[in-house]
C-alpha cells in the first residue's frame, strides 16, 4: 500500500473519530470502531497517535517499527470488531499507567454529592506501599486526592442519617482509626479504644525511667517478655527492639517519660443496615481488629454498640440482616477458619474449617463463596455445610460480588493470576474476561450514570473500566464446559398429603417408643442371623469349608433342557501348599423324581489352587413338570459329618413338559 493511500485511510479514520462524542466517559453505551489501543498515523508528520477515551492524543514519535505495527493493526481491525461484538462488555477506558495500587476492599462506588453522578473512591496503597493516598475518581480522571497517615485497610460508603439531602458518607479505615468524610471533607475521626499494656513491660519502662536498668538489660528482658507473654508488647517496645546498640540510649532517654500505650489496628471493615433493609437505609460500620474482636459502631454518635470476640484475627467480613432486628455475620480469619456469629452472640455459633488460607469471602444469596490458596472456590451454607467446589486454572488474587439489579442476578467475580476474571453463579461459569495484566481489585456497580460498570485495577497500577451491555444475558454454560444442566434441576417433590402430616405428627409424639421398637427388632434379626449361621457351620450347609484342615470350595452348574441334565461340580482345594486326599461325594435326592448313574463316588487327589470338574448326569422321571432339590455332600472317609454341602435347585424338565 502506497504512502498516499495510507494517508487517505488515516484521514478517513480521523474524521470518524472526530465525530465520536467525548467527555469524562465517552464510551458509555458506545464504542469506537476499533477497540483501543488503536494506533494510526495522522497528517502531522513524525507524530504517533492513540485513541484515548474516544479522542486521539499524541503519545510518541513515530518510528519505522511503530509504523509497521500501525499498518498491521489496520488489517486486524475487522477481527477485533467481531470479537468485541460477541463480548458482553464494552471497553470504556484502559490506562496502564494510572498508578493505582489497591485491593477490592479499598474500592467503593457512591453518589458523594447527591447529583446522580457516582464516583469511585480508592484507598491507594501507593507504589511499593509508600505514600498512601485517598483518591476520588470521576470517570477516568482523579477528582480529588489527599494523603493518608497509614496504609488503608478498607473503604465503605454509608448513610449516617435520614435528613435531606441524603448524601452518603465515606469511611476509610487506616491504622487504628476510621476517617469519615462528608461531601469529600473531613467530618469525624474514630479511634479504637486503647488496650491495657503488659504489666511486666510497664514495670521495665518504669525502672528505665528511674535509671535502675541500662538499655541492654531492658532489651534482653523485653525480648523474653515478647517470646513468653500472652499480651503483646506495645509499639514503643517493638521499635526499641529493632534499634542498633548505639541508638538505644537516645531512644530510652526520649521515650522513658512517656506512658506505655498499646493500640490495635483495623484489619477489615464493612457496613450493616441498622433497622431497615432498604438500599438507602441508615447503616452501621462493622470493624475487625488485630485484637481478635468485631466492633459495631453507631452511625451517628460513633460509639460501640456491640463487641464480639473471635479465636483469630479477622481478614474478611460479610454481613446480612439488620442490627436492630436480626443479623448474621461471617468472618474469615487468619487461622484458616470462617466463624458465623448472630445477634446478641459474644462468641461464634458455627465454624467452617478450611483446608487452606482464605483469599476472599463473598455472599451470593444464601451461599458463602470462599476462595482459598489452593486455587479453588468453595460454597458453604451459613451452618458450615459444604455445597460445592470449583477448581481454578490459576491462583485467586481477588474476589467481589457482581449484582445486576435489572435482571436479579448475583454472581461472584474472581480475578486470577493468569490475567483472567471469571464470573460464577454457584459453580456454573458464566463469563471469562481476559485482561492485559493480572487484576488485583474488582468493583461492580453504578459508575457515572451507567448502572452496570466493572472497575478493575491491575498489578502494575493500571485502571480498566468496562460497561456491561444492556442486551447482555449471562447464560449458564456460556463460559466453559462444566457439569451437565440436569444436575442443577430441582426434583419435582410431591406436595404434602394429609396422611404424610398425620404420620409426621405420630412420629413426633411417639418417636422414643418407635425407636425402641426398631432397636428391639434389629437385635432380634441379628440374633436369628447369628443362630442360622452357627447352625449352618455345625451342619456344614455352606459351600465353603470353614476348617483349616480341609480348606475346600464347591459350586455346581446344571446344563440342559431335560429330561436329561448334565450336573458339573467344581471342587477346589484352597490351601496354600497341602494337597487333599480321601474325599467322597454323595448325592441325596428324591428317587421318584430323579435318577443318577452314580450317587456316590470318590474324589481324586486335589492339588492346591486347581478347580476340578466332576461331571454326572441327572435324569428327570416325572412328567408333571415339577422339580426338587438335590443335595451334594463332600465327606471324608471314616467321618459321618460332611465337610461341606450344597443345595442344587433343579430346573423343570422342558422335554417332558412339552411331551
pLDDT at residue number 571: 87
462 vs 75 pLDDT, higher one: 462
What percent helix, strand, coil does the chain show, rounded to 5? 20, 40, 40
pTM beyond 0.85, yes or no: no
Is residue 439 classed exposed, middle or buried when 0-12, 13-18 and 19+ CB atoms within 10 A define those classes?
Answer: buried
Q: Rounded to an integer, what distance in angstroms lies between the CA atom of residue 261 and that of residue 258?
A: 9
Domains detected in the chain: 85-99+355-470 (2.130.10.10), 149-194+263-353 (2.130.10.10), 199-256 (no CATH), 544-649 (2.60.40.10)
Q: Would the CA dihedral through 284, 285, 288, 290 be positive or negative?
A: negative
- Looking at every residue in the chain, the average pLDDT score rounds to 80
- Residue 581 half-sphere exposure toward CB, CA atoms < 13 A: 3
Q: Would the CA dihedral through 238, 239, 242, 244 be positive or negative?
A: negative
- pLDDT > 70 in the chain, percent: 82
Per DSSP bridges, beta strands 420-425 and 314-322 are unpaired
Q: Is 301 helix (H, G, I), strand (E, B) or coil?
A: coil
User: Which value, in Å, is the radius of gyration of the alpha carbons in the chain?
Assistant: 41
- State the pLDDT confidence band at 524, using cuts at 50, 70 and 90: very high
Q: Rounded to an integer, what distance in angstroms lies between the CA atom of residue 469 and that of residue 475?
A: 14
**What are 468's strand-pairing partners?**
89
- Give the pLDDT confidence of 419-443 residue by residue, as tens digits: 999 999 888 888 899 999 999 999 9
| CB of 41 closer than 8 Å to CB of 6 | yes
- Give the pLDDT confidence of 455-495 residue by residue, as tens digits: 999 998 899 999 998 888 887 654 444 556 666 677 788 88
Sequence-separated (6 or more) residues with CB below 8 Å from residue 616: 566, 567, 569, 587, 596, 597, 598
Closest alpha carbon to 302 in 161, 162, 168, 165: 161
Q: Rounded to an integer, what distance in angstroms lies between the CA atom of residue 328 and that of residue 324?
A: 12
pLDDT at residue number 369: 92
83 vs 265 pLDDT, higher one: 265
Amino acid at each position: 500500500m502506497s504512502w498516499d493511500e495510507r494517508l487517505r485511510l488515516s484521514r478517513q479514520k480521523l474524521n470518524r473519530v472526530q465525530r465520536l462524542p467525548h467527555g469524562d466517559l465517552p464510551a458509555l453505551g458506545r464504542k469506537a470502531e476499533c477497540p483501543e489501543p488503536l494506533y494510526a498515523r495522522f497528517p502531522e508528520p513524525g507524530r504517533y497517535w492513540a485513541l484515548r477515551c474516544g479522542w486521539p492524543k499524541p503519545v510518541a514519535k513515530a518510528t519505522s517499527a511503530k509504523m509497521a505495527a500501525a499498518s498491521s493493526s489496520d488489517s486486524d481491525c475487522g477481527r477485533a470488531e467481531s470479537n468485541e461484538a460477541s463480548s458482553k462488555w464494552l471497553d470504556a477506558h484502559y490506562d496502564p499507567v494510572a498508578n493505582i495500587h489497591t485491593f477490592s476492599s479499598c474500592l467503593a462506588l457512591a453518589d458523594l454529592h447527591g447529583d446522580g453522578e457516582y464516583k469511585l473512591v480508592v484507598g491507594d496503597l501507593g507504589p511499593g506501599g509508600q505514600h498512601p493516598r485517598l483518591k476520588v475518581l470521576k470517570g477516568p480522571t482523579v477528582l480529588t486526592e489527599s494523603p493518608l497517615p497509614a496504609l488503608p485497610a478498607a473503604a465503605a460508603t454509608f448513610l449516617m442519617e435520614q435528613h435531606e439531602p441524603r448524601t452518603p458518607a465515606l469511611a476509610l479505615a487506616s491504622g487504628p482509626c476510621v476517617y469519615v468524610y462528608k461531601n469529600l471533607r473531613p467530618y469525624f475521626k474514630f479511634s479504637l479504644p486503647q488496650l491495657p499494656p503488659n504489666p511486666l513491660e510497664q514495670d521495665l519502662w518504669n525502672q528505665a525511667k528511674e535509671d535502675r536498668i541500662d538499655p541492654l538489660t531492658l532489651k534482653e528482658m523485653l525480648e523474653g517478655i515478647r517470646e513468653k507473654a500472652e499480651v503483646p508488647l506495645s509499639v514503643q517496645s517493638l521499635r526499641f527492639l529493632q534499634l542498633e546498640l548505639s541508638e538505644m540510649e537516645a531512644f530510652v532517654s526520649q521515650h522513658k517519660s512517656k506512658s506505655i500505650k498499646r493500640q490495635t489496628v483495623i484489619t477489615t471493615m464493612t457496613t450493616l443496615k441498622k433497622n431497615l433493609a432498604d438500599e438507602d437505609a441508615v447503616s452501621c460500620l462493622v470493624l475487625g481488629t488485630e485484637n481478635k474482636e468485631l466492633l459495631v459502631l453507631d452511625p451517628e454518635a460513633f460509639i460501640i454498640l456491640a463487641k464480639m470476640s473471635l479465636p483469630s484475627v479477622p481478614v474478611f467480613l460479610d454481613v446480612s440482616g439488620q442490627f436492630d432486628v436480626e443479623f448474621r455475620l461471617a468472618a474469615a480469619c487468619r487461622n484458616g477458619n470462617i466463624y458465623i456469629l448472630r445477634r446478641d452472640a459474644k462468641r461464634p455459633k458455627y465454624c467452617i474449617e478450611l483446608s487452606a488460607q482464605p483469599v476472599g469471602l463473598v455472599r451470593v444469596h444464601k451461599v458463602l463463596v470462599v476462595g482459598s490458596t489452593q486455587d479453588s472456590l468453595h460454597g458453604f451454607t451459613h451452618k458450615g455445610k459444604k455445597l460445592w467446589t470449583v477448581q481454578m486454572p490459576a491462583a485467586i488474587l481477588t474476589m467481589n460480588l457482581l449484582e445486576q439489579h435489572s435482571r436479579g442476578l448475583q454472581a461472584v467475580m474472581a480475578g486470577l493470576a493468569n490475567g483472567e476474571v471469571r464470573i460464577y453463579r454457584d459453580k456454573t461459569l458464566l463469563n471469562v474476561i481476559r485482561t492485559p495484566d493480572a487484576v488485583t481489585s474488582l468493583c461492580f456497580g453504578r459508575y457515572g450514570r451507567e448502572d452496570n460498570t466493572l472497575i478493575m485495577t491491575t498489578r502494575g497500577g493500571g485502571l480498566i473500566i468496562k460497561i456491561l451491555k444492556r442486551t447482555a444475558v449471562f447464560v449458564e454454560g456460556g463460559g466453559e464446559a462444566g457439569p451437565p444442566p440436569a444436575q442443577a434441576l430441582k426434583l419435582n417433590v410431591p406436595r404434602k398429603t394429609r396422611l404424610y402430616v398425620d404420620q409426621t405428627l405420630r412420629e413426633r409424639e411417639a418417636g422414643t417408643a418407635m425407636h425402641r421398637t426398631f432397636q428391639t427388632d434389629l437385635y432380634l434379626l441379628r440374633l436369628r442371623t447369628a443362630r442360622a449361621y452357627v447352625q449352618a457351620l455345625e451342619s456344614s450347609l455352606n459351600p465353603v469349608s470353614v476348617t483349616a484342615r480341609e480348606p475346600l470350595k464347591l459350586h455346581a452348574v446344571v446344563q440342559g433342557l431335560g429330561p436329561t441334565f448334565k450336573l458339573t461340580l467344581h471342587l477346589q482345594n484352597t490351601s496354600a501348599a497341602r494337597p487333599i486326599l480321601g474325599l467322597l461325594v454323595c448325592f441325596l435326592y428324591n428317587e421318584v423324581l430323579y435318577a443318577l448313574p452314580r450317587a456316590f463316588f470318590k474324589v481324586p487327589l486335589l492339588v492346591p489352587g486347581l478347580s476340578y470338574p466332576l461331571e454326572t448326569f441327572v435324569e428327570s422321571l416325572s412328567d408333571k413338570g415339577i422339580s426338587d432339590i438335590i443335595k451334594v455332600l463332600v465327606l471324608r472317609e471314616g467321618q459321618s459329618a460332611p465337610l461341606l454341602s450344597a443345595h442344587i435347585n433343579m430346573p423343570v424338565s422342558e422335554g417332558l413338559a412339552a411331551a
